[in-house]
Amino acid sequence: MIMRAVVHHEYGPPEVLSVADVPKPEPGPDEVLVEVHAAGLNRTDTGFRVGTPIIVRYFSGLRSPKQSILGTEVAGVVTAVGSNVTKFAVGDRVFGAHANKFGTHAEYVCMKETAPLAKMPDNMSFVEGAGVSDGMILAINYTRRVNLGPSHRILIYGSSGAIGTAAVQLAKQAGAHVTAVCSTKNLDLMRTLGADEVIDYTTTDFMNAGKTYDFVFDAVSKLSYWKARRLLVDGGAYLCTDLGFMWQNPVLAIGTKWLPVRKLQFPIPPYRQADVELLAKLFESGEYRAVIDRTYPLEDVVEATKYVESEQKTGNVVLIVRPD
């Protein structure tokens, strides 16, 4: 049997993506087959499509992509289960992240029973489920790493993106004082997500405002350790989400580990099922919300990708695989 999927067989611009018929996967003994209704499109997908930074190709293929179907976030319905699967059943509405495996930009995807996958709460739509897990998983790994709590002040730069909107909500749940930095159009959104202070970087020079923080969370990797350290109290930490120029962030994370002041934190996040299950509970109780900017039909994946790469999106972009 065949299915529709977004494929790419070479690295390059968004135009290397196309919708094609490919073989439908079959679940192994410990896998579930998910009928995809919606799938997230994020900067991980765009990075692996381009093959940059070059270290990406260690995982994705040196000259051409090993995995022709991208997509890390998914929401859909379980349509088949392997013989050893006990946690999920046919008919379950599920959502989650297929990090490092990809394949969600398709009508079907197989995932391990133990993958970052959970049953969707009744109040979650497929669009919300497809655009909520990756940013949350990345953000919660940082807040846990520094034991963020009520005594802390945190500045979140790039607070309107997928990771940033998650970080604002998680930081508030931890009881921290949150300062969100974003553009003018997203100021009200940051307030509704719980930010205590909101700074418009287009009109305010927050770098020279004279305020300091326990943590600076750079959710879009536009600052640097050398800039952010000016905003940190002694013992504070700069939390970054990308490798940085010449891969400096992992190096600085090691180099500043033993310093008594102004460390750099660059944790490699584990993608755990427990985090998606936690997210389901938070969403169900109204303590967490998905921020969806735009949705596109699967066939408009090139246009959707260009929008993601424009760096103008707010929250998440979602591909509609099966209109409901």
Whether residues 253 and 167 share a domain: the answer is yes
Q: HEC profile for the chain?
A: CEEEEEECCCCCCHHHCEEEEEECCCCCCCEEEEEEEEEEECHHHHHHHHCCCCCHHHHHCCCCCCCCCCCCEEEEEEEEECCCCCCCCCCCEEEEECCCCCCCCECEEEEECCCCEEECCCCCCHHHHHCCHHHHHHHHHHHHHCCCCCCCEEEEECCCEHHHHHHHHHHHHCCCEEEEEECHHHHHHHHHCCCCEEEECCCCCHHHCCCCEEEEEECCCCCCHHHHHHHEEEEEEEEECCCCHHHHHHHHHHHCCCCCCCEEECCCCCCCHHHHHHHHHHHHCCCCCCCEEEEEEHHHHHHHHHHHHCCCCCEEEEEECCCC
Whether residues 249 and 315 share a domain: the answer is no
Q: What is the pLDDT of residue 149?
A: 96
CA distance 137 to 97: 9
CATH number of the structural domain spanning residue 41: 3.90.180.10
Range of the domain at 84: 2-132+290-320
Q: Does residue 278 belong to any structural domain of this protein?
A: no
Q: Does residue 83 belong to any structural domain of this protein?
A: yes
CA distance 126 to 107: 14
Asked whether 32 and 314 are in contact (CB, 8 A), the reply is no
Whether residues 125 and 206 share a domain: the answer is no
Whether residues 213 and 173 share a domain: the answer is yes
Whether residues 204 and 295 share a domain: the answer is no
Q: What is the pLDDT of residue 261?
A: 52
Average of per-residue pLDDT across 23-45: 97
Whether residues 40 and 122 share a domain: the answer is yes
Residue 147 burial by Cβ neighbours in a 10 Å radius (0-12, 13-18, 19+): exposed
Q: What is the pTM of this model?
A: 0.92
pLDDT digits (tens, 9 = 90+) for 239-267: 887 755 545 555 555 555 555 556 556 55
Q: Into how many domains does the chain fold? A: 2
Q: Please say if the pLDDT value at position 225 is more than 90.
A: no
Q: Please say if the pLDDT value at position 8 is more than 60.
A: yes
CA distance 258 to 43: 32
pLDDT digits (tens, 9 = 90+) for 100-114: 789 999 999 999 999
Q: Please say if the pLDDT value at position 301 is more than 50.
A: yes
Q: Does residue 274 belong to any structural domain of this protein?
A: no
Q: Does residue 22 belong to any structural domain of this protein?
A: yes
Report in angstroms the alpha-carbon separations of 267 from 214, 252, 295: 17, 12, 31
Whether residues 209 and 314 share a domain: the answer is no
The whole-chain average pLDDT of the chain stands at 91
More confident residue, 145 or 280: 280
CATH number of the structural domain spanning residue 253: 3.40.50.720
More confident residue, 14 or 269: 14
Whether residues 143 and 96 share a domain: the answer is no
Q: Does residue 214 belong to any structural domain of this protein?
A: yes
Q: What is the pLDDT of residue 276?
A: 97
Q: What is the pLDDT of residue 246?
A: 45
Whether residues 157 and 249 share a domain: the answer is yes
pLDDT digits (tens, 9 = 90+) for 174-196: 999 999 999 999 999 999 999 99
pLDDT digits (tens, 9 = 90+) for 52-85: 877 778 788 888 999 999 999 999 999 999 999 9
Whether residues 156 and 52 share a domain: the answer is no
Q: What is the pLDDT of residue 5?
A: 98
Q: What is the pLDDT of residue 36?
A: 98
Q: What is the pLDDT of residue 58?
A: 79
Whether residues 109 and 181 share a domain: the answer is no
Asked whether 308 and 317 are in contact (CB, 8 A), the reply is yes
